[in-house]
């Protein structure tokens, strides 16, 4: 009998397989997709060019997503490749009988519309702000609102030079949503404008010089959690020159596809940020299928409007709103704007916003 060879693996499933592993245990991942014991090998690869991949768990309770589409470049783990095996991103019908029964939640007195599992949509204009010189700043995501891994601060800057702000030994990722200015990061000057991201290494600090009459708006993500910013008397001279690139701009050439959707990573390990990732994405008129992530995520709606769904609740979202997503919380973001939605996100800990299950 002649051997059979396959140019591409069989797609066992479009979604990865979530598992919590036993430390030291060995797992033999199926790479051909033919196994009847997915995601594990049952020797069905015999007679093909594929070989299983062995993985030994590094810690007790290690959470992994084993690839089931078998097109990953990071076997045995999911790398988001399943999103591009179809022409369209998986969609759900918002007008189905089941979805029409899901109640709409309005924002409470704090400006938050609380959904399932600690997920919420926040109206940032209702965030209490403290003023320090030209800077007004307040926490939108914090331990007090249910976050375990990242904080996010909303900031407005009037004309002039802001106070010096730091967050101790933490990674800081900033999104400029409005305005343009120069920013001093621990003694190094950079120019930033709307829809730019910029990054501070742990221990660094920053100050913004807004020379325009137009106010600036920043969304400042801090990982791990921080309660309040530190206001410093002097700018530290500790810029980490081993990572000189600190400002990211939108570049269509760097877009990555997810079927009919796109995203671009702004801040990641290429800037020295090995645990927190900032991205900007485009969502067409649609409602995504319910899914989960292994990372904690915050989303800022930059343009467009829509609705955030969890298992049994939903809330409207509009430009300027923030969405907070706890780890493993099931959810779906719907874009109701015919022109689409643009959003910026921060995931932590994680480096690939396309991985979901």
Residue 321: pLDDT over 60: yes
Q: Which CATH class is domain 125-248?
A: mainly beta
Domains of the chain, residue spans: 1-85, 100-106+249-348, 125-248
User: Please, which residues bridge with residue 257 across strands?
Assistant: 262
Asked whether 21 and 62 are in contact (CB, 8 A), the reply is yes
pLDDT tens-place string over residues 155-208: 999 999 999 999 999 999 999 999 999 999 999 999 999 999 999 999 999 999
pLDDT at 242 over 90: yes
> pLDDT, tens digit, for every residue of 47-74?
999 999 999 999 999 999 999 999 999 9
Residue 170 makes CB contacts below 8 A (sequence gap 6+) with 202, 222, 223, 224, 226
Residue matched to tokens 């800077």: 135
pLDDT at 1: 39
What pLDDT is stored for residue 177 in this prediction? 96
CATH topology of domain 100-106+249-348: Jelly Rolls (2.60.120)
Q: How far apart are CA 120 and CA 335, in angstroms?
A: 17
Q: Whole-number mean pLDDT of the chain? A: 95
Tokens 């709606």, residue located: 301
Instruction: Decide whether 100-106+249-348 matches 125-248 in CATH topology.
Output: yes
pLDDT digits (tens, 9 = 90+) for 18-33: 999 999 999 999 999 9
Pairwise CA distance, residues 141 & 200, whole Å: 19
The pLDDT value recorded for residue 2 is 44
- pLDDT, one tens digit per residue, over 271-297 is 999 899 999 999 999 999 999 999 999
- Residue 200's alpha-carbon distances to 117, 143, 245, in angstroms, are 31, 21, 10
């Amino acid at each position: 009998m002649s051997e059979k060879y396959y140019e591409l693996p069989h797609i066992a499933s479009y979604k990865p397989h979530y598992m919590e592993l036993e430390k030291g245990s060995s797992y033999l991942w199926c790479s051909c997709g033919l196994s009847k014991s997915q995601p594990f090998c049952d020797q069905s690869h015999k007679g093909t060019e594929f070989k299983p991949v062995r993985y030994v768990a590094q810690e007790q309770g290690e959470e992994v997503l084993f690839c089931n589409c078998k097109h990953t470049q990071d076997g045995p783990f999911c790398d988001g490749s399943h999103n591009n095996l179809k022409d369209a991103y998986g969609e759900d019908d918002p007008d189905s009988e089941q979805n029409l029964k899901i109640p709409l939640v309005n924002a409470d007195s704090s400006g938050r519309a609380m959904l399932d599992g600690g997920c919420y949509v926040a109206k940032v204009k209702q965030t209490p702000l403290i003023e320090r010189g030209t800077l007004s700043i307040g926490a939108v995501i914090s331990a007090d609102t249910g976050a375990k891994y990242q904080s996010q601060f909303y900031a407005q800057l009037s004309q002039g030079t802001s106070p010096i702000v730091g967050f101790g030994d933490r990674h800081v990722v900033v999104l400029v949503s409005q305005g343009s200015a120069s920013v001093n990061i621990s003694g190094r000057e950079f120019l930033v404008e709307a829809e730019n991201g910029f990054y501070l290494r742990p221990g660094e600090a920053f100050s913004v010089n807004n020379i325009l009459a137009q106010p600036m708006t920043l969304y400042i993500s801090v990982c791990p959690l921080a309660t309040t910013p530190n206001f410093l008397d002097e700018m530290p001279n500790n810029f980490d020159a081993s990572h000189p690139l600190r400002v990211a701009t939108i570049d269509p050439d760097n877009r990555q596809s997810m079927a009919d959707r796109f995203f671009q990573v702004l801040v990641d390990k290429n800037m020295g940020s090995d645990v927190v990732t900032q991205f900007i994405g485009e969502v067409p008129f649609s409602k995504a299928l319910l899914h989960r992530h292994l990372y904690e995520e915050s989303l800022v709606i930059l343009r467009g409007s829509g609705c955030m769904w969890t298992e049994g609740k939903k809330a409207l979202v509009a430009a300027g709103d923030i969405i907070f997503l706890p780890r493993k919380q099931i959810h779906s973001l719907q874009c109701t704007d015919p022109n689409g939605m643009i959003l910026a996100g921060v995931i932590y800990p994680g480096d690939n916003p396309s991985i979901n299950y």
